Amino acid sequence: MNLAHLFLRTARRDGEAPAVGLGTRTLWTYRQLVDRAARLAGGLRSRFGCEPGERVAIVMENRPEYLEIELATWWAGAAIVPINAKLHPKELGWILGHAEPRVCFVSEKLADAVAEADPPASCRVVEAATVEYADLFEEAAPAMAEVGPDALAWLFYTSGTTGRPKGAMITHGNLRAMTYAYHIDVDEVAPRSALLHAAPLSHGSGCYVSPHAAVGSCHVVPETGGFDEAEVFELWRAWGRVHMFAAPTMVKRLVRHAKAKGLAGEGLATIVYGGAPMYLADLEEAHGVLGFRLAQLYGQGESPMCITALSRREHEAAARAGRRDILQSAGTAQIVVEVAIADEEGRRLSPGAVGEVLARGPSVVPGYWRDPEATRRTMGDGWLRTGDLGALDEQGYLTLKDRSKDLIISGGANIYPREVEEALLTHPKVKEVSVVGLPDPEWGERVVACVVAEPGTRADELDAHCLREIARFKRPRRYVFLDSLPKSAYGKILKRELRDRLAREAASEGS
């Protein structure tokens, strides 16, 4: 069944319910949103040939059009390809070439970056809020496309450890399964609540669209198009019953703001956090300042938002019972998912033992776009290999110990060292490089590059080089010049040793 039915159901049941808001204003009701999206689907089909099986890319900061483009694409039976607005034009170009969308919607702000990305000739670029965009709504609305559960709904590009992004093929069936599990295990959402999109719709916040559309929440886009603490508190107050996704670093900033301004979170229903580890001290402080209004989920692009969860109620019960082990966990398997822990050979481990987290169920994607080898490696036997390390206890609570060692999560964004290493290795003076993440109180982790380079190489020239090659947020914050990199007997660089050494140096500098 087409995901667009979730919106249509709400439009029929409660058509006057606000569907999309900008700042404190309602822009469209559900009836209007569905009507606009159905007409836009007509434009997508007749102007660009967006039939079932085709793709529609979106390169925009959060803005209201995002939601009607998504719904229109599904209505037409095609799949969305939301692309991180902060990527470098080279990275954008690679994804557009790989996904081969029929059309790419851009905002005014990102139009130049997309032009520089040099999209394939088969992809038309249309800027939102222009005459050309408005013209797409002039076509007659087609009937909603019939699509099966295996039809592609969202091509979700995650950076791959091989340095190239991989497109997780999220189907209509995957998002529907996640939607059911969300309402049972993650959060209770009353009709006519608000969902605040302060995190990117291309990633963290975007997956929340289907469960919230299903019950008739209003999708509120901040005027700033992003995350601003003062604005978030104002929007909570203005809308009331606000739900939102926030990465742990965002939660920390909200708590700091609340303390500084003497606020307690009026209008907030739930913050669902995830995407990176939440430290216990930060969670307890958030409870103290905002009340028991936090829920956690653990998922990844390959099983969107849907592996384990710890609801608000469970947070409260665990805190009152002094069960800090539960607060430190990522909760238990969501209702549609089985979770197991395995060693490197895939043998199942017993409770308490640390190994790789595996997941299986209808939320797990069938594979990666045009990458059968990665599909076979990651979910070939039906079980998703998450690359995260963790342990299950006797009750089924999952504690994440570490993630696959090389992924760096800084400010909620995933940064794969290999991508940064490959960029640095194209600099003529760089001989060897290893990029690691070091703990950072503000960002969770920060990127540090350990470099073996020709004498006299300066950090600022490497920084300038990175700016030309990769997204700004992936650049190393620090360069450490070394004579050689520590290696194992097999010649593999020992990242853990590097991390430990840098952490020891930082500790002795601090003491």
Return the number of the residue (43 or 277) whose C-beta is nearest ligand AMP.
277
**CB of 140 within 8 A of CB of 269?**
no
Q: Output 152 or 276, the one with its CB closest to ligand AMP.
A: 276
Helix (H, G, I), strand (E, B) or coil at 113: helix
**Piece in contact with ligand AMP (CB under 6 A), picked from 61-69, 269-277, 431-439, 441-449:** 269-277
List the one residue from 68, 70, 314, 388 that touches ligand AMP (CB under 6 A).
Answer: 388
Q: Which of helix, strand or coil describes residue 95?
A: helix
Cβ-based nearer residue to ligand AMP, 363 or 414: 414
Subset of residues 391 to 410 that bind ligand AMP, contact rule: CB under 6 A: 400, 403
CB nearer to ligand AMP: give 206 or 265. 206
CB of 138 to ligand AMP, least distance (A): 38
Distances from the Cα of 255 to the Cα of 82, 120, 163, 248, 314, angstroms: 30, 44, 35, 11, 21
Q: Is 101 in the site for ligand AMP (CB under 6 A)?
A: no
292, 312 contact by CB (below 8 A): yes
Examine residue 205 and tell whether it contacts ligand AMP (CB under 6 A).
no
Closer residue to ligand AMP (CB): 316 or 432: 316
| Contact call for residue 275 and ligand AMP (CB under 6 A) | yes
End-to-end CA distance of the chain: 60
Cα 93 from Cα 88, distance rounded (Å) = 9
Instruction: Tell me which stretch binds ligand AMP (CB under 6 A): 108-116, 295-303, 374-382, 473-481.
Output: 295-303
Q: Is 330 in the site for ligand AMP (CB under 6 A)?
A: yes
Q: Specify the residue, 217 or 300, whose C-beta has the smaller distance to ligand AMP.
A: 300
Q: Could you say whether residue 274 binds ligand AMP (CB under 6 A)?
A: yes
User: Which ranges of 380-484 would DSSP assign to H, the alpha helix?
Assistant: 417-425, 459-469
The DSSP code sequence of 237-277 is HHHSSEEEEE-HHHHHHHHHHHHHHT---TTEEEEEE-SSP
Q: Does 453 bind ligand AMP (CB under 6 A)?
A: no
Q: Figure out which of the listed residues 300, 311, 332, 434 binds ligand AMP, where binding follows CB under 6 A.
A: 300
Tokens 């939601």 — which residue? 67
In angstroms, give the least distance from the CB of 322 to ligand AMP: 22
Beta pairing, strands 152-158 & 218-221: unpaired
276 binds ligand AMP (CB under 6 A): yes
Nearest Cα residue to 146 out of 44, 214, 35, 52: 52
**At 326, phi and psi to the nearest 5?**
-70, -40
Cβ proximity to ligand AMP, 101 vs 274, nearer residue: 274
Among the listed ranges 103-111, 171-179, 236-244, 292-300, the one in contact with ligand AMP (CB under 6 A) is 292-300
Report the alpha-carbon distance of residue 109 to residue 288 in Å, rounded. 39
Nearer to ligand AMP, 35 or 316 (CB): 316
Asked whether position 298 contacts ligand AMP by CB under 6 A, the answer is yes
Q: At 302, is the secondary structure helix, strand, or coil?
A: coil
State the alpha helices, DSSP H only, in 294-398: 312-320, 324-327, 372-379
Query: CB under 6 A: which stretch of 176-184, 293-301, 454-462, 492-500 binds ligand AMP?
Result: 293-301
From the CB of 156, what's the least distance to ligand AMP, in Å? Answer: 8
CB of 245 to ligand AMP, least distance (A): 11
Do 187 and 331 meet the contact criterion of CB atoms below 8 Å apart?
Answer: no
Q: With binding defined as CB under 6 A, does residue 367 bind ligand AMP?
A: no
**CA 445 to chain CA mean position, Å:** 17
Residue number with the shortest CB distance to ligand AMP?
300
Query: Sign of dihedral through CA atoms 403, 408, 413, 418?
Result: negative
Shortest gap between Cβ of 25 and ligand AMP (angstroms)?
31
Q: Please, what sign has the CA dihedral across residues 21, 126, 74, 374?
A: negative
Count of residues of this chain found to bind ligand AMP when the rule CB under 6 A is applied: 15
Q: Say how far apart CA 295 and CA 309 lie, in whole Å.
A: 8
What are 489's two structure tokens?
Answer: 């007997």
Q: Given strand 430-440, what is the order of strands in its sheet?
A: 430-440, 444-453, 478-481
Q: Does 127 bind ligand AMP (CB under 6 A)?
A: no
Contact yes or no for 444/273 (Cβ under 8 A) = no
- Which of 15, 47, 139, 158 is the binder for ligand AMP (CB under 6 A)? 158
Regarding 27 and contact with ligand AMP (CB under 6 A), the answer is no
Q: Which stretch binds ligand AMP (CB under 6 A): 183-191, 274-282, 336-344, 391-399?
A: 274-282
Q: Does 386 bind ligand AMP (CB under 6 A)?
A: yes
Per CB under 6 A, which region of 272-280, 428-436, 454-462, 502-510 contacts ligand AMP?
Answer: 272-280
Binding site for ligand AMP (CB under 6 A): 158, 274-277, 296, 298, 300-301, 330, 386, 388, 400, 403, 414
